[in-house]
Structure 1
């Protein structure tokens, strides 16, 4: 892929990982082919996304994307626990890790939830493509 295409992807994605929102100059950002070239993917802008190295490795099955981990302190009342549990069971990308005894959600989805709660008029999609 040529340098002009790389620069266009960086500009379009605002110099930040489209998954976890990490940005220059804090991290290395890679241009990722959504459909790999080996499977017929092209260098068209619609097939390219800017990912940090950690998210890029995860996209290729070689690591784990950044996540936020939540666990109970054990001090919740029943109503608070029900709300906590409902939040994580309806968020499609939330996963319970029994080993850690904690809920984990992708960092980008957590940031979207915070933005939505802070500004209910916002309606950006979650990382899995689902909307609010």
Structure 2
């Protein structure tokens, strides 16, 4: 699956990037798309904000693969004051906070971290089934 740029305008209209994936290479493409988006923004965000965006994207698409049915669709939207990260997956199960697994099994760290890094998060059910997990980061 390939990433597709829907709009490349850097004016008042939002900049939208879409990436779909069903495997680890899709997660890599999602990270690359996030970095490419920040590279196109004017003014350019500080490097730490770009790193935070890449981390949030990585966590959300990885969670969609691991817990959401194995397929994701990522939409990155650069608004004037925020970057919106929206990840669709096929599972109707809502993301939940859980105690991090401190054994070698891992897990439980991503969703709390996303909630700490984002300005706001939301989970909505989709009419077609599944859900959308959205995080808004300051621009």
* TM-score normalised over the length of structure 1: 0.28
Which structure has the greater CA radius of gyration?
1
Structure having the larger proportion of residues in strand: 2
* TM-score normalised over the length of structure 2: 0.27
Q: Which has the higher contact order (CA 8 A, sep 6+)?
A: 2
